[in-house]
Amino acid sequence: MLEAKGIAFDLMPSGADWSLVCAPAAAAAARDELTRYAAERRATRPRPPAIVPFPGAGLGSGAFVVVLLATAYCTGIQAFGEDWLAAGSLDARVGGAGEWWRAVTALTLHLDQAHLLGNLLFGAVFGTLAGGAFGPGIAWSSILAAGALADYLDMLISPPEHRAAGASTAVFAALGLLSGFSWRLRLSVREQFRYRWAPLFGGLFLLTMLGAGGERVDVLGHALGFAMGTLLGWTYARLGLPRTRSRRPQWVAGAAALAVIVGAWFLALRR
């Protein structure tokens, strides 16, 4: 601290301790700086509330894995004699947004094994972290809502020839959910700018590194998923959610998410 202030000093051993020495002319300035530094260190600073992880955070990720694998199997064997990829993928043609269920079904489809395995891995990691923060049911219902909204917006604003499928939009929605939640909690803490905004910057870095490369990557879908997740996570932190650790809301939210997926596929295959 003294060096930053341009005050010359030296440290000298004094038995088991050390002595800080400086020129007599600089003694008053050094003592004043040290006194103010000590007072600043004693000032209490608010800290973000501690997050106690919810139990069973991995249950939602397990359901996520089962849903993706089951959909991949049905797509591969063309269950019920239907082309699942054509029926459920994102379709931005004129009037395609009227088939709103595609915003949900597209989140469960994949074009190849590498695509599926990548989303299983990162989705399970981010989903488990979100499950620990919000509970598995609320976390995954929120991820589904943010991902589906992002997909629907993708259909509305993309060129008519745009087609897409994959859970990566939901994966980045999970990342955004965590980033937005942590970011809002940090904003209330008296820290330097880079610390308060670190959760958002970290999420954007991962989005850029993992979701913006390759010829068949739906960059817009990834960005929208992250944005919708961030907005939702920020809102949760602003409202102080979740307020209860009861298991009932978790089961209800998780069951509702599964029901939405099943209902969307029912409409897609019936169509």
Q: For 135-142, what is the mean pLDDT?
A: 96
The most confident of the ranges 6-10, 87-91, 226-230 is: 226-230
Structural domains in the chain (count): 2
4 is a domain residue:
no
Give the pLDDT score at 252. Answer: 96
2 is a domain residue:
no
pLDDT digits (tens, 9 = 90+) for 212-258: 766 678 899 999 999 999 999 999 999 988 878 889 999 999 999 99
Give the pLDDT score at 43. Answer: 66
The DSSP-derived string for 135-166 is -HHHHHHHHHHHHHHHHHHHHHHS-TT-EE--
Question: What tokens does 32 get?
Answer: 């004043």
18 is a domain residue:
yes
**Do residues 239 and 112 share a domain?**
yes
Contact between 186 and 196 (Cβ < 8 Å): yes
Q: Is residue 91 classed as helix, strand or coil in its secondary structure?
A: strand
pLDDT digits (tens, 9 = 90+) for 10-60: 988 888 888 989 999 989 999 999 988 888 777 666 666 677 889 899 999
**Do residues 19 and 110 share a domain?**
no
3 is a domain residue:
no
The residue whose two tokens read 């939602």 is: 60
Nearest to 200 by CA among 223, 224, 184: 184
38-54 residues labelled b (16+ CB within 10 A) or e (exposed):
eeeeeeeeeeeeeeeeb
Give the pLDDT score at 48. Answer: 63
Give the pLDDT score at 240. Answer: 86
In CATH, what number is assigned to the domain containing residue 257?
1.20.1540.10
**Do residues 27 and 92 share a domain?**
no
Q: For 69-89, what is the mean pLDDT?
A: 95
Q: What is the mean pLDDT of the chain?
A: 90
**Do residues 24 and 88 share a domain?**
no
**Do residues 196 and 118 share a domain?**
yes
**Do residues 103 and 21 share a domain?**
no
16 is a domain residue:
yes
pLDDT band at 191 (very low <50, low <70, confident <90, very high): low
**Do residues 142 and 98 share a domain?**
yes
Q: Which residues contact 192 (CB under 8 A, 6 or more apart)?
A: none
**Do residues 22 and 131 share a domain?**
no
pTM for this model (two decimals): 0.81
Please give the Cα distance from 185 to 125 (Å, whole number): 22
Give the pLDDT score at 45. Answer: 64
Q: In this model, does residue 132 exceed pLDDT 90?
A: yes
Please give the Cα distance from 139 to 133 (Å, whole number): 8
Give the pLDDT score at 4. Answer: 86
Q: For 139-154, what is the mean pLDDT?
A: 96
Contact between 140 and 127 (Cβ < 8 Å): yes
**Do residues 117 and 28 share a domain?**
no
50 is a domain residue:
no
**Do residues 115 and 154 share a domain?**
yes
Please give the Cα distance from 66 to 258 (Å, whole number): 11
Q: In this model, does residue 194 exceed pLDDT 80?
A: no
- Percent above pLDDT 90 for the chain: 58
CA distances from 31 to 14, 41, 83, 104, 251 (A): 19, 15, 79, 65, 61
Question: What tokens does 3 get?
Answer: 């060096």
158 is a domain residue:
yes
74 is a domain residue:
yes
**Do residues 180 and 111 share a domain?**
yes
β-sheet bridge partners, residue 91: 163
Q: In this model, does residue 190 exceed pLDDT 90?
A: no
Domain extent at residue 33:
10-42
DSSP state of 78: T
**Do residues 20 and 132 share a domain?**
no
Q: In this model, does residue 96 exceed pLDDT 80?
A: no
